[in-house]
């Protein structure tokens, strides 16, 4: 966020108090503290190393990772069955996923390449290039937001993936790193914080975290054996609920966010 000096020359000499740091800037608002309320759970493929997740027109679309095992898949929510899956070339490690119009955009981790897919057929239609690592991706209806594991989201053109801006994410004035899977929903950007069970609700204009969401405790102790981290956020605009899962998780959860 760019800050511009809107005070005329000499103004501070006349009103020193008004020009103090406390008068010119207010402390960041403390974020809400939320937690998940589980509405329902569904079966999830325990072999799916979930990297990106989207809900659209009655289906889940999922990007999974690992070299030689990465896929793009369409999944039936109620059963967890994979309706269709396409394997990525072995040199690609699948990452974040977004839908723009009639195409899916799937990031790769270190290959600096986004794969383009036809939404209906899941046939590959092309690719786009970008610099740096690809982690999470979401589309707000105008622009794409992309994470790379740092505290900065790049804002990108939805057609070309060209960088058009940057957004530093801060919590109570401090940068928040390890931003991973993203979901644009309800006018916010939601983000997984890698290797934690915390989600963030981010102001897309300022980068400030407006709410932290405790997503711990969804899996039982037995279900946690052999799984990896929480990752995967999808929003159902028809119900106002979210779908959450993780890498190698046996379940996917439909949740809402409520105050602690």
The top-level CATH class assigned to 29-259 is mainly beta
- State the alpha helices, DSSP H only, in 18-155: 21-24
pLDDT in tens, 147-194: 999 999 999 999 999 999 999 999 999 999 999 999 999 999 999 999
pLDDT in tens, 190-243: 999 999 999 999 999 999 999 999 999 999 999 999 899 999 999 999 999 999
**Exposed, middle or buried, 142 (CB in 10 Å: 0-12/13-18/19+)?**
exposed
pLDDT in tens, 110-154: 999 999 999 999 999 999 999 999 999 999 999 999 999 999 999
What is the value of pTM for the model shown? Answer: 0.89
Give the start-to-end residue ranges of the domains of the chain: 29-259
β-pairing, 198-203 vs 209-214, is: antiparallel
- State the alpha helices, DSSP H only, in 2-120: 11-14, 21-24
């Amino acid at each position: 966020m760019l800050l511009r000096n809107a005070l005329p020359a000499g103004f501070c000499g006349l009103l020193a108090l008004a020009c103090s740091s406390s008068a010119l800037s207010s402390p960041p608002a403390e974020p809400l503290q939320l937690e998940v309320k589980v509405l329902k759970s569904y079966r999830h493929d325990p072999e799916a190393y979930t990297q990106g997740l989207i809900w659209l027109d009655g289906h889940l679309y999922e990007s999974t990772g690992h070299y030689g095992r990465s896929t793009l898949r369409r999944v039936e929510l109620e059963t967890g069955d994979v309706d269709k899956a396409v394997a990525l070339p072995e040199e690609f490690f699948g990452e974040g996923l977004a839908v723009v119009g009639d195409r899916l955009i799937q990031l790769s981790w270190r290959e600096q390449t986004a794969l383009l897919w036809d939404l209906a057929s899941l046939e590959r239609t092309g690719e786009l290039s970008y610099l740096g690592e690809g982690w999470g991706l979401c589309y707000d209806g105008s622009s794409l937001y992309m994470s790379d594991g740092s505290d900065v989201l790049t804002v990108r053109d939805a057609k070309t993936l060209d960088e058009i801006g940057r957004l530093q994410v801060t919590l109570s004035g401090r940068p928040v790193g390890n931003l991973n899977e993203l979901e644009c929903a309800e006018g916010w950007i939601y983000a997984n914080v890698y290797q934690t069970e915390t989600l963030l609700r981010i102001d897309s204009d300022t980068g400030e975290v407006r709410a932290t969401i405790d997503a711990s405790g969804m899996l039982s102790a037995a279900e946690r054996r052999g799984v990896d981290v929480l990752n995967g956020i999808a929003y159902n605009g028809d119900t106002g609920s979210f779908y959450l899962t993780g890498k190698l998780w046996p379940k996917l959860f439909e949740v809402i966010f409520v105050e602690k």
